[in-house]
Amino acid sequence: MNDISAQAAALNWNEQGLVPAIAQDWQTGEVLMLAWMNREALELTVREARAIYWSRSRAALWRKGEESGNVQHLKELRIDCDADTVLMKVEQVGDIACHTGRRSCFYQRLENGEWRVTDPVLKDPKALYGKP
């Protein structure tokens, strides 16, 4: 994957020029998180072999782990059949993908009509990001 521009052009980007990007543990298959990518984020992800997203709230590139140290090393990149979603198989450094300090962002399960927290906080987010 040397020149990703041609491959990026083949994707079906939404009206904002973004595609959803799913990060999945490359060994276990566990879904860790979903974020968004623009073309630049996708190209940099391939070039640097690490997950780089587009932060919609900050309107800026976001290198996963730049503050927390919980980097995602890219092992494999796929797209779905409609070419409108990216799947990244990653090695999750630090075992934490979620900004809440959990392994996965998908830590709530519907049980008896209510959302229940199923996964523990592995590290206090204040300690991860150095914010009070």
Give residue 21's Cα distance to chain centre. 6
Q: Binning pLDDT at 50, 70 and 90, where does residue 98 land?
A: very high
pLDDT tens digits, 55-67: 999 999 999 999 8
Rounded average pLDDT over 13-28: 97
pLDDT (0 to 100) of residue 5: 80
Rounded average pLDDT over 110-127: 96
Q: Binning pLDDT at 50, 70 and 90, where does residue 1 land?
A: very low
Rounded average pLDDT over 15-20: 97
8 A C-beta contact, residue 112 and residue 90: no
Domain parsing of the chain, residue ranges = 5-94
State the Cα–Cα distance between residues 24 and 8, nearest whole angstrom.
20
CATH of 5-94, one of 3.90.79.10, 3.40.50.2300, 3.10.20.810, 3.10.150.10: 3.10.20.810
